[in-house]
């Protein structure tokens, strides 16, 4: 097992540093799941090749050997699924994947609530994490380091916030002509006041300015409020589903 230092400027929260597990033809970044120090997350973004079943078995044993009791994946689809299931991973969460092709038309189809947003400062990421916890519960929320990771997952990003103190935030990423609405969180006490809509419209406007032609977002299949919001501004669900997997290492 190889440990590779993360070269990004991570915030000062204390937790196990990310490292890399290497397989026969692939490597995978490992980080601690937010707020769960004994749960590892396999980060399998933009993999050119998939880990083999032997890789997954070996990695699971190595993670157990350094004290992790569970391992989870990022959202996966396609060929990774049968390999994960064959070595004992089970579905923890299923996500709907939605796409948007007409960013310039979104603002014309709905009434902009006119709620101003501002830049989400690095110093506010811990406050954003509290909003995230209120919105998603501690099991699925992001700590400040995970929010940093979301911001740096794509070559360019835009992080916006509403409220002082902060009551909603969104992170949008772009990679060439591909856009991603990566995170949207609103304090439950502020639901149905247009904050989420304002942030989604801001995200689409930002991507439109950079001539992004396709934007993706995912959300749990049972998150009816988020699905309604995304479809309202022109996102359409894809047949493809994403899954988060987990394996018990004890």
DSSP character string of 201-221: HHHHHHHHHTT--EEEEEEET
Quote helix, strand, coil % in the chain, to nearest 5. Answer: 30, 35, 35
Strand partners, 159: 171
* Residue 168 clears pLDDT 70, i.e. is over it: yes
Task: Report pLDDT for 134.
Answer: 97
% of residues, the chain, pLDDT over 70:
89
Rounded distance between C-alpha atoms, residue 148 and residue 131, angstroms:
15
- Which sequence spans correspond to the domains of the chain? 19-94+244-248, 97-238
Task: Report pLDDT for 3.
Answer: 36
* Residue 216 clears pLDDT 90, i.e. is over it: yes
- 132: helix, strand or coil: helix
Classify domain 97-238 at the CATH topology level: Aminopeptidase (3.40.630)
Strand partners, 216: 99, 180
Report the predicted TM-score, pTM, of the whole model to 2 decimal places: 0.89
For 120-159, what is each residue's pLDDT tens digit?
999 999 999 999 999 999 999 999 999 999 999 999 999 9
CATH number of 19-94+244-248: 3.40.630
Give the start-end residues of each E strand in 101-223: 118-119, 156-162, 168-175, 178-186, 214-220
For 230-248, what is each residue's pLDDT tens digit?
999 999 999 999 999 999 9
Task: Report pLDDT for 204.
Answer: 94
Find the range with the poorest average confidence among 38-52, 99-113, 161-175.
99-113
| β 90-100/236-248 pair status | antiparallel
Q: Which residue has the higher pLDDT, 80 or 15?
A: 80
Task: Report pLDDT for 119.
Answer: 98
Rounded distance between C-alpha atoms, residue 205 and residue 209, angstroms:
6
Provide the b/e sequence for 55-75 (b: ≥16 CB within 10 Å): bbebbbeebbeeebebbbbbb
Max CA pair span of the chain: 55
Nearest 5°: the CA angle 201, 205, 208 is 140
Rounded distance between C-alpha atoms, residue 83 and residue 75, angstroms:
14
Confidence of residue 7 (pLDDT cuts 50, 70, 90): very low
- Computed over every residue of the chain, the mean pLDDT equals 90
Q: Which residue has the higher pLDDT, 98 or 25?
A: 98
Q: How many CB atoms lie within 10 A of CB 33?
A: 21
Asked whether the domain spanning 97-238 has the same topology as the one spanning 19-94+244-248, the reply is yes
Phi/psi for 246 (5° steps) reads -140, 150
């Amino acid at each position: 097992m190889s440990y590779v230092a993360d070269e990004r400027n991570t915030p000062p929260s204390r937790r196990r540093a990310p490292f890399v597990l290497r397989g026969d033809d692939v490597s995978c970044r490992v980080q601690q799941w937010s707020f769960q120090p004994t749960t590892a997350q396999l980060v399998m973004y933009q993999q050119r090749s998939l880990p083999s079943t032997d890789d997954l078995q070996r990695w699971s044993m190595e993670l157990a050997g350094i004290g992790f009791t569970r391992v989870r994946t990022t959202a996966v689809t396609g060929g990774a699924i049968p390999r994960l299931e064959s070595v004992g991973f089970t579905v923890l969460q299923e996500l709907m994947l939605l796409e948007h092709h007409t960013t310039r038309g979104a603002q014309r189809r709905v009434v902009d609530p006119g709620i101003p947003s501002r830049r989400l400062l690095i110093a506010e990421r811990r406050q954003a994490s509290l909003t995230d916890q209120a919105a998603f519960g501690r099991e699925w929320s992001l700590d400040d380091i995970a929010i940093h990771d979301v911001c740096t997952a794509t070559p360019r990003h835009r992080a916006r916030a509403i409220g002082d103190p902060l009551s909603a935030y969104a992170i949008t990423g772009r990679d060439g002509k591909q856009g991603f609405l990566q995170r949207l969180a609103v304090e439950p006490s502020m639901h149905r006041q247009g904050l989420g809509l304002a942030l989604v419209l801001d995200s689409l406007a930002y991507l439109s300015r950079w001539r992004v032609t396709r934007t993706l977002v995912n959300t749990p299949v049972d998150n009816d409020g988020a699905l309604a919001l995304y479809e309202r501004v022109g996102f359409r669900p894809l047949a493809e589903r994403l899954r988060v997997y987990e394996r018990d290492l004890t």
